[in-house]
């Protein structure tokens, strides 16, 4: 059900240029903050002008696009900025599995943004423009204790071994398996503290918060600016080294690894096959590059193109999700194996997360390195691509390294 401030009249929307707001995350209130920030730029929001639980099913992205068009189509918009992300904006999170409940779109009552040298504030309703610093003190969560999620570490290693056997038997080329870890804090977890720590530690990632799903993902699923689109494909991972020499050696081994290179090639082929029918032009690199983050290194490829028609960013998200990087190859078979072996509901983990404006522009990432936060508890997620020669212990170590992102956010 959607909510529109208890009124049936069109939403009054006003976007006004503002001075440099400084740290965007410092403007967020404690309750239900929304965020999409990278290198200090992006959008943050608070309040709810409209919200909807998106019904599950294969048509969910089309349903969400139509709902958004209905809510924003008749809005009275006074936009003095007129750039992607100005005017009314919806933040969204979609579950990994199309049949799972939990997908949501929210139009915040206020959005503060800084992009490409411009800063602006959008408000919906009668909120005064000058009151966009609703900051209240941030308190730490205290001591954090951890417990097994859906599977223990040993059980998950057995799942990885079973999946590798399926691949060697020829059923599929690759499957991405995830696991969860439960964290319990002494005091309620303030999402703003997690966002601040993640943004400072991982500035090259997209730090996000939507409806309790919080994280910092390195993977840009799609950015639409007019007819231009961009994507960053990550597949193939190794932990950082113990020092500069070990770091370089690990990066070189990752780049030379037949297993990881094949995993990356599967991911690029999946994106190319998906985007080509939507684009009048599409460019994918011949070789990946190394993306070095504080905790891991990835094989990464930048993809760019131009849409052939007026598809919105949600239309492109619908075509791309799930990618081979988070599902597997072939995707349909991989999803069946995930449902059979993984033993948990991923919720929004590895699903699309991001924002869309009234013109169909937006940025959506894949919700990796993330957790679902509620009160004193957080459910953390991590995973990795499984190939026929995958070693269960090595895959467990990779997942543990990825957990460290959210563990750092909780513990500092």
What confidence score (pLDDT) does residue 108 get? 95
pLDDT band at 296 (very low <50, low <70, confident <90, very high): confident
Q: Which of 98, 157, 173, 219 is catalytic?
A: 219
- Residue 402 is among the residues annotated as catalytic for this protein: no
Pull the structure tokens for residue 159: 């799942």
Range 377-383 average pLDDT:
96
Backbone φ/ψ region at 42: left (φ over 0), alpha (ψ -120 to 50), beta: left
pLDDT tens digit sequence for 19-61: 999 999 988 887 779 999 999 999 999 999 999 999 999 999 9
Predicted TM-score (pTM) of this structure: 0.91
Distance (Å, whole) CA 108 – CA 93: 14
- Out of 174, 342, 363, 398, the active site residue is 174
What DSSP string runs through 27-89?
Answer: G--SSS-EEEEETTEEEEEES-SEEEEPPPSTTHHHHHHHHHHHHHHT-EEEESS-STT-SSE
Helices (H), 139-201: 153-168, 191-201
Strands (E), 308-347: 328-329
| Token representation of residue 325 | 């990087």
219 is catalytic: yes
Cβ contacts of 399 within 8 Å, gap of 6 or more: 156, 178, 179, 382, 383, 384
> Is the preceding peptide bond at 65 cis, omega within 30 degrees of 0?
no
């Amino acid at each position: 059900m959607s909510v529109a401030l208890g009124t049936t009249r069109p939403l009054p929307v006003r976007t006004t240029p503002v001075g440099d707001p400084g740290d965007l995350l410092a403007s967020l209130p404690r309750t239900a903050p929304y965020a999409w920030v990278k290198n200090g730029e992006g959008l943050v929001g608070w309040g709810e002008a409209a919200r909807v639980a998106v019904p599950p099913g294969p048509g969910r992205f089309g349903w969400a696009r139509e709902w958004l068009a209905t809510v924003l189509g008749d809005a009275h918009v006074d936009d003095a900025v007129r750039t992607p992300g100005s005017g009314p904006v919806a933040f969204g999170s979609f579950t990994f599995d199309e049949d799972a409940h939990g997908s949501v779109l929210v139009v915040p009552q206020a959005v503060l943004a800084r992009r490409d040298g411009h800063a602006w504030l959008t408000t919906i309703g009668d909120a005064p423009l000058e009151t966009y610093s609703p900051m209240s003190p941030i308190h730490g969560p205290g001591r954090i204790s951890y417990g097994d999620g859906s599977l223990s570490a040993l059980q998950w290693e057995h799942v990885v071994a079973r999946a590798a056997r399926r691949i060697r038997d020829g059923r599929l080329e690759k499957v991405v398996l995830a696991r969860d870890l439960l964290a319990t804090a002494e005091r309620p977890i303030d999402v703003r503290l997690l966002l601040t720590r993640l943004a400072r530690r991982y500035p090259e990632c997209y730090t996000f918060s939507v409806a309790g799903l919080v994280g910092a993902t390195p993977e840009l699923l799609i950015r639409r600016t007019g007819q231009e689109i961009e994507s960053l494909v990550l597949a193939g991972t190794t932990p950082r080294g113990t020092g500069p020499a070990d770091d370089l050696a690990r990066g070189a081994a990752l780049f030379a690894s037949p297993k990881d290179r094949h995993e990356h090639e599967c991911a690029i082929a999946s994106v190319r096959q998906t985007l080509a029918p939507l684009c009048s032009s599409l460019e994918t690199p011949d070789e990946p590059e190394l993306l070095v983050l504080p905790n891991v290194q990835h094989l990464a490829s930048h993809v760019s193109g131009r849409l052939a028609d007026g598809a919105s960013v949600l239309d492109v998200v619908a075509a791309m999700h799930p990618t081979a990087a988070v599902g597997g190859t072939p995707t349909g078979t991989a999803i069946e194996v995930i449902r059979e072996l993984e033993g948990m509901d991923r919720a929004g983990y590895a699903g699309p997360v991001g924002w869309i404006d009234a013109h169909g522009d937006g940025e959506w990432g894949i919700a990796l390195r993330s957790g679902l936060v509620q009160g004193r508890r957080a459910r953390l997620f991590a995973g990795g691509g499984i190939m026929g020669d995958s070693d269960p212990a090595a895959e467990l170590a990779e997942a543990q390294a990825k957990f460290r992102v959210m563990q750092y956010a909780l513990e500092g």
